[in-house]
Chains A and B, each alone.
Chain A
């Protein structure tokens, strides 16, 4: 007895149906070789490996009718549905006589993937801190990098814009910065790179390298992507790219379009915003803030100068008053002495003395002040206030 292949497959189909029909299984597996058919079905392989050793492999399918599962997965996780993803799937086992055994996926557990991404992100961050201690430190849950600790001097006018050619993100950035309400002008140099897909991290790194070599031509870097899908941000979690961003000597402003998640690149760069438009607005705000600071500084300078001049003027007025006061003092003191001398001299004038009742006695025209100088029978002259009389000394 023999079976035709169809008969054998029908036997397998019915046998498997007895065990698997109507049952769903939660399966942990890795994606491989994904193909999307023209009619909207996703065909791929699911594998399980131990290191490089393949332990299990099975074809899988997500029919077009179940494809919202993929849209939901990508929107929730920010992760493109692609090969090499470790997923937790809800699937049914199907056997088709023409196509063989396959898993028919009906749902993908997004929370499992988010957990995996978080674990992977955490591992990358730990490695970055460990291997780049001179550029990245972790303190109180915050990452401090050479780049986000930069303190730009002057305005950020010469911008190297890393973006995808002709992308909405590029156009949004340029439109916002060239049409800012304050009329500030900027010199933007576009440095094109893929910003999603497997090549993105390498190309962005190459552009950073170019900017680094020519860093004297630029004040800052804008790294933007946007307008595309909300998936495939893997490039911005790339270890090498994030290490380069952390150590970069010019401020990097990232507007890479995450709506839900924060990439490692966002944590390493000078400033992270959600969209290219907001990245452009950052430069305008930075300029506005610098201008306001300058105005404040000028006003403070004027106010200080004003105060300073008032103080000096007051000091000078005080000195002028002191000058007059002390000079007057010296003159007054001297004048007072003169007055005292004058009074003393007046009192000593002999005429004034005679008027008070005193007399001057002279002998031979010499004033006699001592009684021992006079002898009996001496002739003396007595001068009184109104004339002179002669007299003899009797004894």
Chain B
């Protein structure tokens, strides 16, 4: 999977879920679920990084 930014990963995840919602082929499902879980992990990691940075900024702001 090529390197995606948050929005790209989020959009791709949304598209996969829409495909599942519209009844995906059962043959493709294992692959799609695996891909969706990878995209979800990318989004979660990026969100966690942003949250960590925000917490650091808040702590610095309180120190000042």
Contacts and interface: CB of A to CB of B under 8 A. Distances in A.
Interface in B1-21: 6, 10, 13-14, 16-17, 20-21
B13 A319 contact: yes
B43 A316 contact: yes
A323 B23 contact: no
Contacts of B61: 298-299, 302
A320 interface: yes
Nearest to B6: A312
Contact of B13 (A298, A309, A323, A330): A323
A322 interface: yes
A302 B58 contact: yes
A327 B33 contact: yes
Contacts of A296: none
A326 B21 contact: yes
A315 to B, nearest CB: 8
A313 interface: yes
A326 B33 CA distance: 10
Given A302-B54, A313-B47, A330 B26 contact: yes
A48 B32 CA distance: 105
Contacts of A330: 20, 23-24, 26, 29
Given A302-B54, A309-B50, A309-B54, A323 B20 contact: yes
B26 to A, nearest CB: 5
Contacts of B32: 327
Interface string B25-45: 010010011001100100110
Contact of B51 (A298, A309, A331): A309
A365 B51 CA distance: 78
A322 B47 contact: no
Interface residues of B, number: 26
Contacts of B23: 330, 333
Given A309-B50, A309-B54, A331-B29, A316 B17 contact: no
A351 interface: no
Given A309-B47, A309-B54, A327-B20, A320 B26 contact: no
Contacts of B16: 323
A334 B6 CA distance: 33
B20 A326 contact: yes
Interface string A269-293: 0000000000000000000000000
Nearest to A301: B57
Interface string A303-335: 001100100110110011011001101110110
Nearest to A326: B20
Which of B6, B13, B17, B43 has the largest number of chain A CB atoms within 10 A?
B17
B4 to A, nearest CB: 14
Nearest to A305: B54
Interface in A215-268: none
Contact of B44 (A305, A306, A316, A331): A316
A319 B54 contact: no
Contact of A327 (B29, B40, B47): B29
12 contacts: A302-B57, A312-B6, A313-B47, A316-B43, A316-B44, A319-B13, A319-B14, A320-B40, A323-B33, A327-B32, A329-B20, A331-B26
Interface of B: 6, 10, 13-14, 16-17, 20-21, 23-24, 26, 29, 32-33, 36-37, 40, 43-44, 47, 50-51, 54, 57-58, 61
